[in-house]
Amino acid sequence: MSSPQDEPLRIQPGRVLGSPGITRRSLLRAALIGGGLTMAGIPLTYAKDAPTATLPFKRGARPLVTFPQKRPLMVMTTRPPQLETPFHVFNEHVFTPNDAFFVRWHLANIPTTIDPSAFRLHVRGHVRRPLSLSLHELRTQFEEVQLAAVCQCAGNSRGFFKPRVPGGQWGNGAMGNALWTGVRLRDILDRAGIKPGAVQVRFNGLDQPVAEGTPDFRKSLNVEDVLNDHVLVAYAMNGGSLPLLNGFPLRLVVPGWYATYWIKMLSDIEVLNSVDDGFWMTQAYRLPADPCGCVEPGEHPTRTVPIGRMPVRSFMTNVDHGATIPSGKPVVVRGIAFDQGYGIDRVLFSSDGGTHWQRAMLGHDYGDFSFRQWEARFVPVAGRTYHLQSLAINRIGESQRFSARWNPGGYLRNAVETVQVKAI
């Protein structure tokens, strides 16, 4: 417990991190930092005696290493960089600080220098007027929008799958919540003028494969899923420029959808008049085509569909599995909950493994796509073991699952988590 003492039952609205407002100057400054980020700046190896954090599954040891613009994060791979946020960060802020935000790239050829004055966002394909927009045009010719949203890797928590599945063995820290600033994708597409017959929009970033034959990382969404108020082309997060590793200078923000669609270093938007038949849509990031998105453990689905929106989840953030807690006075258990954008209706808390439930108190509402903080309290009795659980329910009545579903990609985990503690 980080603060087991009897505290007033009051949730602090999380601290918004941060920093001066977003000015051209701060963009340029970040660009300079970006410009200084040479390949030598991205550690390819780390000291054998680097401190480690250990995730609670086999082969879960992760060195803590500092990458450019980042505090020490848990390294899964260095090339391409895949860095996990240590979980205690989620207890400290409702908005995940930029320097603690997780990092995931598929391809190792990532530009280390971006000249913001030369950068252009291209819009092309099935449109009336192809566009080539500078960052300055983007920021001055479209309405600026701000929105809080959770960016969660489809493979978040994959390391907990039983039986284990191949792929990045993430703990629960391949997610983050940020206040995104940018312009609406719809406004950009309106200017380009989508032609009748458009089916999907394909997004590409500046990163490239290293080996010939590796398909470029491109993702597509249906036109009807992007023509809304909240899909953004973002140039800032939490009031600062995007860190290079999180997609400087622009990234797509698709609130409610898994992060695989949140293309970083976004440079190309292509309107398609047919369904994207590329590798990353047809071969990767696919779920069994049934409402559960699951199959019997070990089986392979016969039909699959592209992964989409995120199911409702919650976590306890201030209790560690196996910890001891003081008895005889109220203990405050804190956590976070989120879903695909219906918003959190309630979070239930149990200290006895799900036999009895109480309603947790919800924290400040930063919007339907944001983390929602919650807290509950109970009075432990000395010598007893407690199985703490939280269960989030969204505003259309969808709740977390009690048993974990399984699929070969290791996606969609949203089972109720149990944290065992002992009172002394």
Please give the residue ranges that form the binding site for ligand MTE (CB under 6 A).
101-106, 151, 153, 205, 207, 217, 246-247, 259-260, 262-265
The amino acid present at 272, given as its one-letter code, is L
* Contact indicator for 93, 15 with CB cutoff of 8 Å: yes
Neighbouring CB atoms inside 10 A of 12's CB total 9
Letters for 355-374 (x = contact with Mo ion by CB under 5 A, - = none) are: --------------------
Comparing CB distances to Mo ion, the nearer of 105 and 235 is 105
CA distances, 374 to each of 333, 358, 386, 420 (Å): 8, 12, 19, 19
Please give the DSSP secondary-structure letter assigned to residue 59.
T
Q: Where is 31: in which H helix or E strand?
A: helix 24-35
Comparing CB distances to ligand MTE, the nearer of 239 and 380 is 239
Residue 242 C-beta: closest distance to ligand MTE, Å: 8
Among Mo ion, ligand MTE, none, partner that 217 touches (CB below 5 to 8 angstroms by kind):
ligand MTE
Cα dihedral angle (40, 170, 163, 154), rounded to 10 degrees?
-110
Q: Where is 91: in which H helix or E strand?
A: helix 89-92
Comparing CB distances to ligand MTE, the nearer of 4 and 182 is 182
β-bridge pairing 418-423 and 324-325: parallel
The one segment of 138-146, 258-266, 298-306, 374-382 that binds Mo ion by CB under 5 A:
258-266
153 lies in the site for Mo ion, by CB under 5 A: yes
Comparing CB distances to ligand MTE, the nearer of 305 and 381 is 305
Residue 408 C-beta: closest distance to Mo ion, Å: 16
Q: Tell me the residue number closest to ligand MTE, measured at CB.
A: 205
Comparing CB distances to Mo ion, the nearer of 95 and 280 is 280
Residue 174 C-beta: closest distance to Mo ion, Å: 7
Find residue 314's DSSP bridge partners.
337
In sequence order, what are the residues at sequence separation of 6 or more whose Cβ sits closer than 8 angstroms to the Cβ of residue 302? none
Look at residues 104, 121, 424 and name the one whose alpha carbon lies nearest to residue 285.
104
Q: How far apart are CA 40 and CA 36, in angstroms?
A: 10
Find residue 53's DSSP bridge partners.
62
Residue 306 C-beta: closest distance to ligand MTE, Å: 13
Comparing CB distances to ligand MTE, the nearer of 261 and 349 is 261
Among ligand MTE, Mo ion, none, partner that 198 touches (CB below 5 to 8 angstroms by kind):
none
Residue 422 C-beta: closest distance to ligand MTE, Å: 35
Residue 156 C-beta: closest distance to ligand MTE, Å: 8
* Residues at the site binding Mo ion, with contacts judged by CB under 5 A: 104, 153, 259-260
